[in-house]
């Protein structure tokens, strides 16, 4: 079965990468779908994020990266994915993700949403936090995958 892990990934964090790795063990193929979040101004373009993510997931043979356009369920259908994988860090995430999952069920009944709970060491982590730490010159080694730290620092410092 194919699964899709959608998100803005601006930039990808080690928490995102952990969810991708865990999903890659559960599904035959994982499609990481970069979606534009109209509520946020992106630091990296979608094509830049795709390159960064591809560097991070190169070791996973069953993971590929796409740039999604439109509704998540439409992208999942187009990619042949029957499952949406979402990470949950805290109660606030659950409430938001539940609303999204329920909406997606109404839009496309044949696509399921599966929640993977963040490991405790990643439960605080978001792209926004990583960007803020990088912007102020803080150490992001525990936040961002090692292979893209230089690119993130360069853009945000």
Structure tokens at 156: 């945000």
**CA separation for the pair 72, 77 (Å, rounded):** 9
As a whole number of Å, the end-to-end CA separation of the chain is 41
**CA separation for the pair 88, 80 (Å, rounded):** 24
Residues with catalytic roles:
16, 40, 89, 127
Closest of 13, 7, 6, 5 to residue 148, by C-alpha: 13
């Amino acid at each position: 079965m194919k699964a899709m892990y959608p998100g803005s990934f601006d930039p990808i964090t080690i928490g995102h990468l952990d969810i991708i790795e865990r999903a890659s063990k559960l599904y035959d193929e994982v499609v990481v779908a970069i979606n534009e979040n109209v509520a946020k101004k992106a630091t990296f373009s979608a094509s830049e994020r795709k390159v960064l993510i591809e560097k991070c997931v190169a070791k996973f043979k069953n993971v590929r990266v796409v740039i999604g356009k439109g509704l998540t369920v439409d992208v999942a259908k187009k990619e042949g994915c029957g499952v949406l994988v979402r990470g949950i860090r805290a109660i606030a995430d659950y409430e938001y993700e539940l609303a999204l999952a329920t909406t997606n069920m109404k839009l496309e009944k044949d696509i399921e949403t599966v929640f993977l709970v963040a490991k405790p060491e990643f439960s605080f982590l978001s792209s926004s936090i990583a960007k803020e730490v990088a912007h102020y010159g803080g150490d992001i080694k525990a936040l961002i995958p090692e292979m893209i730290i230089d690119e993130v620092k360069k853009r945000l410092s």
